[in-house]
Amino acid sequence: MTHSTLKEKLQAIGIRHVLSYLDSDPDKNIPKLLKWVELLDKNNTLEGPLPTVKRVLSDKDGVWYKFITDLYTDIDPSVRKKIFENFIVNAVVLGRDKKIKLRDEEGCNIPWAILMDPTSACNLKCIGCWAAEYGNRMNLSLEEWDSIIEQGKALGTYFYLYSGGEPLVRKKDIIKMCEKHSDCIFLSFTNGTLIDEAFADEMLRVGNFIPAISIEGDEAATDSRRGAGVYQKVIRAMEILKERKLPFGISCCYTSANTDVIGSDAYIDDMIARGAKFAWFFTYMPVGVDAVPELLATPEQREHMYRQVRHIRETRPIFAMDFWNDGEYVNGCVAGGRFYLHINANGDIEPCAFIHYSDSNIRTHTLLEAYKSPLFMQYRVNQPFNQNHLRPCPLLDNPERLAAMVDASGAKSTDMVNPEDVHDLMSKTVPAAEKWAPVADELWVENRAEKAAKAACPGGCGCGCQAPEHK
């Protein structure tokens, strides 16, 4: 196990000191925190995003400044303190340098986050969701769950996400992990229907658990996919969380049937008013035998979401991210341990939540062994899968690349009910990939031109002007 050095511990103490200043006067001390982050980033790993962050947070009339200051009025102070410390001190300062060092030493990807399924059980049966096939067939034992986190922390990973199934089926165990690993951040994708007052009180007590509530848009869109009455249960869950000043966000899957709703200002404004602090957008993936390829977003709908998410970030105080259309910011696909990976409820270690193939299992392999497995090394040597980072995915955008990696590694389908040959899976996405390619290529050219314009403007606004405030 790699232990923190004295230097790292002193850095952590310094950042905690700055965070204490933030609590007393955010307006005055936000610049101090940015200065500390800049000084501590010795490897220049934040060289790309840090100037932009500094610029937008210097605009006190901007939406990002409002977003940060809202965290001080809308979130319980003890919860905010724990999340900030765990994220900045552990995940960024202690964890980041450790991961970079180990990646070089071990010659493999080390993820920033691990997504795992505590259980395959779910209290709903949503249209197009592969988890509905499994029922309560698979569960990670508490010991296995704990071991994943212990191994992850030793390698520099302090951010853990849950999916399923419905993770909150195991609410008591979730709280146990939050208590034991109080130095980590835990986020759960959840349908929200199991969030009640008692669980919210436990969230408030431990302070390091954040739900990302799945919602399909308005009541009609949500209930049509998730079941009658689900929308009202979700809204009640949001009310409970907001009353206790607990942070939460929304997880939105856009499809050919609901993009108009999800991709609207009115929808985002409603979610902000209900207390959501982040919105993570996913596009529908036709995984599993019950998949409905007709639900794949059209190229026009995907382009709309590309533009809409950027519009949200410029005009709304909410952290919005699209895991496909934001590939430009992370140089393509983040899976395969490059930034994250997935462990299902049977212990299979998969490159991605949507790629149900594996050659390693947590019951027979350590995490580090899995990171060096043939499948994960295929990901490492093949990323990025496309030089156009608006076509990042090896399944949705470059399906031939996924099939080649699975074939080369000898990985097997992890679907215990209906194993799916990778070539059958890719056949569902080939038409969508072919239709998206020319649209994405046009957007990529447009994107490069916009970045060139911003580079030409000293203020980074893209206008190319010579205004005094931009010099």
Mind listing the pLDDT tens digit for each residue in 268-308? 999 999 999 999 999 999 998 878 899 999 999 999 999 99
* 441 is a domain residue: no
Whether residue 60 is found in the same domain as residue 118: no
pLDDT confidence of residue 8: 63
pLDDT confidence of residue 132: 54
pLDDT confidence of residue 95: 86
* 453 is a domain residue: no
Whether residue 77 is found in the same domain as residue 169: no
Whether residue 81 is found in the same domain as residue 165: no
Whether residue 93 is found in the same domain as residue 219: no
Among 86-90, 372-376, 430-434, 437-441, the minimum mean pLDDT is found in 86-90
pLDDT confidence of residue 22: 67
Q: How confident is the model at residue 316 (pLDDT cuts 50, 70, 90)?
A: very high
* 427 is a domain residue: no
Q: Which two tokens stand for residue 463?
A: 């206008």
Whether residue 229 is found in the same domain as residue 81: no
Average of per-residue pLDDT values in the chain: 88
Residue at a domain's end among 331, 352, 382: 382
pLDDT confidence of residue 114: 98
Cis amide linkage into residue 384, ω under 30° from 0:
yes
pLDDT confidence of residue 470: 47
> How many domains in the chain?
2
* 397 is a domain residue: no
- Kindly compute the dihedral angle of the four CA atoms of residues 444, 447, 451, 453, in this order, to the nearest 10 degrees: 120
Question: pLDDT > 90: what percent of the chain?
Answer: 68
Residue at a domain's end among 80, 98, 116: 98
* 448 is a domain residue: no
* 160 is a domain residue: yes
Q: How confident is the model at residue 137 (pLDDT cuts 50, 70, 90)?
A: confident
Interatomic CA distance for residues 198 and 175, integer angstroms = 12
Whether residue 121 is found in the same domain as residue 189: yes
pLDDT 10s digits, 364-417:
999 999 999 999 999 999 999 999 999 999 999 999 999 999 999 999 999 988
Calculate mean pLDDT across residues 51-55.
Answer: 69
Q: Which two tokens stand for residue 207?
A: 């302070």
Q: How confident is the model at residue 227 (pLDDT cuts 50, 70, 90)?
A: confident
Q: How confident is the model at residue 471 (pLDDT cuts 50, 70, 90)?
A: very low
Residue 63 has pLDDT above 80, yes or no: yes
Q: How confident is the model at residue 10 (pLDDT cuts 50, 70, 90)?
A: low
Interatomic CA distance for residues 350 and 361, integer angstroms = 9
Whether residue 88 is found in the same domain as residue 199: no
Q: What secondary structure letter does DSSP report for 138?
A: -
* 211 is a domain residue: yes
Residue 327 has pLDDT above 90, yes or no: yes
Is the sign of the CA dihedral 455, 460, 465, 468 positive or negative?
negative
Find out whether 320 and 279 touch, Cβ atoms under 8 Å. Answer: yes
Whether residue 70 is found in the same domain as residue 116: no
Place of tokens 């319980």: 76
Whether residue 183 is found in the same domain as residue 47: no
* 331 is a domain residue: yes
Interatomic CA distance for residues 336 and 352, integer angstroms = 6
Interatomic CA distance for residues 29 and 151, integer angstroms = 35
Whether residue 123 is found in the same domain as residue 37: no
pTM as predicted: 0.89
pLDDT confidence of residue 62: 87
Domain of residue 47 covers 6-98
pLDDT confidence of residue 69: 87
Task: List beta partners, residue 115.
Answer: 161, 342
Whether residue 280 is found in the same domain as residue 156: yes
Find out whether 128 and 84 touch, Cβ atoms under 8 Å. Answer: no
Contacting residues for 218 by C-beta, under 8 A, at least 6 apart: 231, 261, 267
Calculate mean pLDDT across residues 148-177.
Answer: 96
Calculate mean pLDDT across residues 181-206.
Answer: 97
Residue at a domain's end among 382, 414, 434: 382
Whether residue 69 is found in the same domain as residue 121: no
